[in-house]
A and B are shown apart, each in its own frame.
Chain A
Amino acid sequence: MTLAVQSPQKSVKMQHNGGINKVAVIGSGIMGAGIAAHCANAGCDVLLYDIVPNGAEDRSMIARDAIGRMKKSNPEVLMHPSNSQRIHPVNLEDDLALLGDRDWVIEVVVERLDIKHTIYSNIEEYLSENVILSSNTSTIPRSSLVDGMSPSLASKFLITHFFNPPRYLPLLEIVAGEEVVEDLYHRMSIFASERLGKRVTLCNDTPGFIGNRLGIYFVQRAIAATLDHGFTVEQADAMLGRPIGLPKTGVFALMDLVGIDIIPAVVQSMVDNLPPEDALHEIAGKGEDIIEKMISEGYTGRKGKGGFFRLNTEGGTRIKEARSLVDGTYDTANRRAAFTSAKIGRQGLKRLMTHPDEGAAFVKEILLDTFAYAASLVPEVSEDIAAIDGAMRVGYNWKKGPFEMMDSIGLEWLVGEMVSAGIEIPSFLALAAERGSFYGQEGGEITRLDFSGELIEILTGAEVTTVADIKRRRVKPIRKNASASIWDANDGVLLVEFHSKMNALDPLIMEILLAAVDLSEDDEWKGILIANDSANFCAGANLGLALFAANLGAWSTLEDFIALGQDTYQALKYAEVPVVSAASGMCLGGGCEILLHSDGVVAHSESYIGLVEAGVGIVPAWGGCKEMLARLTDEKLVGLGPMAAPMQAFENIGMAKVAKSAHQAKDLGYLRKRDRITMNRDRVMSDAKSFLLELAQDYSPPSPNVYHLPGPSGLAALKMALNDLAIAGHATPHDLTVVGELAKVLTGGECDHTDELSEEDILALERKAIASLARNELTLARMEHMLAKGKPLRN
């Protein structure tokens, strides 16, 4: 289910950036720098402010250093290194006048009301009439922030609460106020949604807003239960991660990630600000002594020397250790701490919660209280359960929000269990239980239950934004098999959706792609859109299938699969209609080759694209080598001469280079310059469809590439470079074999650079290389290792 958090109505015609191009960020700490970097990613001009250190020669040194750190950050906060040029270091003493042309000023300083008030009053006189001023506070109510502010400034003031790291976590909570100018929230939310790619959630002005209100309750409740049950941190995390649809960090590893030292302050501010009847008070403070002790010992989490978990690297190996909650000692972490019930989670939460072991009882206790708490927050934090569920999904990476989880379990059973456990049933939950569920579906549209008992249609916008939207509204796909489907996406667009496990490419997907090309020859179709709703567009071929065939020695089956892929991708490339792919997440190997054969790509900015075949001991053989050689030259990414493209392709493919953003993918040639990048994941498919319809006007298929490749002379050069790498210890013996085969393909085999080679010539070389590598035991070992462990074997 892909419920978009309610997006602002588009009836008011508004610029896609909400009129925000120039931004100022006040405070260059981790969050401030992260927000500044992400605004630069969005193409904004950014002033980054901080204080002047005592006696500093460079008075903007703090901000300048922060920009320097952005370039080295890991994970990378900048989508492209050049984005740092859009961020200018300034200081709060000399440069306030520069605020005059800023469209949005966001304050990201320490969580102290007095300091924030001083900043607002110092900058007010410099701000423009149309400015939006906001604070990134996570704990201070908006009402306190605007206290003493001029009415005019208060009317321009929002809370915009980002989650860390701002580039990667899509949740943005916004708190407005009654005095806020009417279109201000809409401007901000359009900008945040379209340009920053955020899922904007409007929250009421209550402590912790939505995400942290519920998230902190859950974490505190889990700590209390862990102590009650006398569980270890490994046991707790093993039950509270994947088995219940949460990230595998569970609770304790999550605190390590967030930073142990910030937890007491955050919990305290909630306790200070929440009404006395709030359920958090009952459990706040549980485990406080443990956390205080850890902080005093310097165990502040991953940013420090460790937290509940630490990596012991003494003796040259990395051993994960866990902290005892009893005596604070560390010992090798138990990787098998999960109870039997953890596996039952796959069959549904209810099955897990009813399993007869202590792990299940532990989970049940925590979830019942958390669900009751969530239901009690409506309408206080928001009257919109879809917003609450969405916040937990995108802010905390939960697979489902609490209301979606409750629906999946069954409300009648849940209420019964709560009653048995002595939990007071919140009135909203009672209302929902009476009706059967929180969500419903009417005529293809999803509805949510309102506090008043009304069913409200969830707006996803008029245009189709996801494959799920089409599925709900159409009775049947045009064509379907176990791995892929073809849908009518309106306006003459054929949509090909992959739905095999992990979207792995297999002969069934090829069959559907070929069927789409066949269908498209009929006049009613304008083009083919390849898109899906998964986190990852496609991580490559189904290795299990290939390995199975190889282990049986079924070479002709394997070779047929290679040939089928080549024919399919060539058919896509030369179809009479344009083909556009909507990329997001991982687009690797055969998935990357689909992008290379598409007429256009709309990529989510967070797309990780690469030809990684060498990692599993093979070479790209569905035209990846063929397209990469031509692409590098066509996109002018390499110079002239017969070695230019082969050398760069050799580096990209031989080192299995993966672009860490769509912007970087353009540098590497996996995307063309004309391909488009969309910051908001929810809009990738509709943008791709628009691009397709543009290309469909006056479309004619591309002319085939011709190649002039260096032949044996170039092969000699690449092999020399490869041997040097091996001697230097950067290439393994099997790397020499695999990348040696790659070199033969990329240099054109037994040709001379005065010869003209065709696409078919390169495809034949790809087939030859893979036929040889597939028969190599070491390649099969790489495939097996990848399937078993999910990472490459260095043999």
Chain B
Amino acid sequence: MTAVICGFSRSPFTPAKKGALSGSRPDDIAAEVIKGLIDKTGLDANLIEDIILGCAFPEAEQGFNLARMLSFLSDLPHSVAGVTINRFCGSSMQAIHDAAGRIAMGAGDAFIAGGVESMTRIPMSGFNPMPNPRLATEMPEAYTNMGLTAENLAAIYEIERGTQENFAVESHRRAANADFSDVIIPITTNSGEVSTDGCIRSDSNSNSLARLKPAFKSDGSVTAGTSSPLTDGAAFVLVCDKEFAIAQGLDILASIESTAVSGCSPEIMGIGPVSATQKALMRAGLSLEEIDVIELNEAFAAQSLAVIEELGLDASKVNIDGGALALGHPLGASGARIVGRAATILAKKDAKIALATMCIGGGQGIATILRKVE
């Protein structure tokens, strides 16, 4: 049985704290996206098995098994179940993997898979960070600050600050030129409807970035300009069994060829996509040369450049519509965004195979390979 992606929708991604969605609850944002996605695909909601929701800090407004609450907030039939899962930044890509796995074992035909994060309203590390004191003493790197992991990679791969900044400028340039209007579901807020992304700076340039101070290490090279911004947003895809999708007359964007996760040392968590990608390629029986489209989540410029170098990726195939440096990185939502973007590009362009991959705090990588359905 083959899992296919039959639709992709997301909210605008807006900067945490000062962005247009900072006053909106994450569950309200996510519910609007789910409603919009179901509407757009035309699927009979009674046929949905489960909402699989990724969220990196599932507490407070993101608590209460948010996925189940979303089934109510999205006006779905009570028969549609909901589960919330957490693999930090990889959460919503994991949601897609879970859906694909369940389809493979015949445990359902249609799944809403995706994620949400309000980094305005639920702080990174949550409201009550209480790390294990023994682990914090014996293996402090388990809890390494994300910015410092990027500094570590910049040092190991000797990635200069200017190189990181050029990469960030290019990400903004591409995002500013891309059209996301077909996938964005406008969100109603107290101060009006929000329908455009808020993090992209079309005027970003290396001169302005060069003026920023290092954000994490006094003598380091990583700045706010070469780090993905804290962001609010939600993204979902509809994952279905291929035959079911055909029978229901759904549009099919791409099929899921293979998936993988893997661990790495936490202090260089940004390199996680390397081994995850290699595993996923092997499982799909593909080589890197056969990949036409690559969506690599840009947690940091240094981290992305390290992955590109280590895997030997063709930079012209990576993030052709810009990445998280420009669009933002709402932790729980980014995985579904890049899988959805990759599937959209496959459906639209003359391309066959796509890879979506991302690094994960704590030292992990996750990867998904998609194929165009002819």
Contacts and interface: CB of A to CB of B under 8 A. Distances in A.
A639 interface: yes
A643 B130 contact: yes
A641 B216 CA distance: 28
Contacts of B143: 720
B127 A641 contact: yes
Interface residues on B, range: 20 to 34
Given A641-B127, A642-B128, A712 B133 contact: yes
A729 B215 CA distance: 9
Nearest to A717: B129
A755 to B, nearest CB: 15
A727 B130 contact: no
B129 A715 contact: no
B127 A724 contact: no
Smallest CB-CB A-B distances: 5 pairs? A729-B218, A641-B128, A713-B130, A716-B136, A643-B128
12 contacts: A641-B127, A643-B129, A713-B130, A714-B130, A716-B131, A716-B132, A724-B148, A727-B218, A728-B215, A728-B216, A728-B218, A729-B214
Contact of B127 (A644, A715, A719, A729): A644
A720 B214 contact: no
Given A712-B133, A715-B133, A716-B136, A639 B218 contact: no
B188 to A, nearest CB: 23
Nearest to B125: A717
B214 A713 contact: no
A417 to B, nearest CB: 60
A728 B133 contact: no
A640 B60 CA distance: 10
A667 to B, nearest CB: 17
Given A727-B217, A727-B218, A728-B214, A710 B130 contact: yes
Contacts of B215: 728
A640 B63 CA distance: 14
Nearest to B215: A728
Given A716-B131, A729-B214, 19 more contacts: A639-B60, A641-B128, A643-B127, A713-B132, A714-B130, A716-B130, A716-B133, A717-B131, A719-B136, A720-B140, A724-B145, A727-B148, A727-B218, A728-B214, A728-B215, A728-B217, A728-B218, A729-B217, A729-B218
Contacts of A729: 214, 217-219
Contacts of A720: 131, 136, 140, 143, 145
Interface in A702-735: 710, 712-717, 719-720, 724, 727-729
A498 to B, nearest CB: 40
B131 A724 contact: no
A212 B366 CA distance: 73
Interface string B268-281: 00000000000000
B127 A727 contact: no
Interface string A218-230: 0000000000000
Which of the four size classes fits the interface of chain A? 10 to 19
Nearest to B216: A728
Interface string B118-141: 000000010111111100110010
Interface string B213-232: 01111110000000000000
A644 B128 contact: yes
A720 B125 CA distance: 12
Contacts of A728: 214-218
Contacts of B219: 729
A710 B217 CA distance: 28
Interface string A724-750: 100111000000000000000000000
A493 B216 CA distance: 55
B130 A724 contact: no
Report which residue of A640, A716, A719 has the largest number of chain B beta carbons within 10 angstroms of its beta carbon. Answer: A716
Interface in A610-651: 639-644
B362 to A, nearest CB: 14
Interface of B: 60, 125, 127-133, 136-137, 140, 143, 145, 148, 214-219
A717 B214 contact: no
A720 B129 CA distance: 10
A758 to B, nearest CB: 22
A619 B32 CA distance: 49
A85 to B, nearest CB: 14
A714 to B, nearest CB: 6
B283 to A, nearest CB: 37
A724 B214 CA distance: 13
Contacts of A712: 133
A713 B218 contact: no
Contacts of A716: 130-133, 136-137
Contacts of A710: 128, 130
Contacts of A719: 136
Contact of A642 (B130, B131, B137, B145): B130
Nearest to A730: B218
Contacts of B60: 639
A320 B128 CA distance: 48
A176 to B, nearest CB: 46
B213 to A, nearest CB: 9
Contacts of A640: 127
Contacts of B216: 724, 727-728
B204 to A, nearest CB: 23
A10 to B, nearest CB: 46
Nearest to B130: A713
A713 B131 contact: yes
A589 B127 CA distance: 28
Contacts of A713: 130-133
A714 B148 CA distance: 21
Residue of B129, B148, B217 ringed by the most chain A CB atoms within 10 A: B129
Nearest to B60: A639
A517 B318 CA distance: 74
Nearest to A720: B143
A639 B218 CA distance: 32
A641 B123 CA distance: 14
A542 B219 CA distance: 39
A656 B266 CA distance: 33
Contacts of B137: 716
A640 B128 CA distance: 8
Contacts of A642: 128, 130
B127 A639 contact: yes
A644 B60 CA distance: 13
Nearest to B129: A717
Contacts of A717: 125, 129-131
Interface in A40-59: none
B179 to A, nearest CB: 28
B17 to A, nearest CB: 14
Nearest to A715: B133
B302 to A, nearest CB: 16
Contacts of A714: 130
A625 B290 CA distance: 62
Contacts of A724: 145, 148, 216
A712 B131 CA distance: 9
A709 to B, nearest CB: 11
A643 B129 CA distance: 7
A639 B123 CA distance: 12
A717 B216 CA distance: 17
Interface in A152-179: none
Nearest to B59: A641
A365 to B, nearest CB: 53
A729 B147 CA distance: 14
A715 B127 CA distance: 15
Contacts of B130: 642-643, 710, 713-714, 716-717
Nearest to B136: A716
B250 to A, nearest CB: 43
A71 to B, nearest CB: 13
A234 to B, nearest CB: 36
A413 to B, nearest CB: 61
Interface string A75-100: 00000000000000000000000000
A703 B140 CA distance: 41
B369 to A, nearest CB: 36
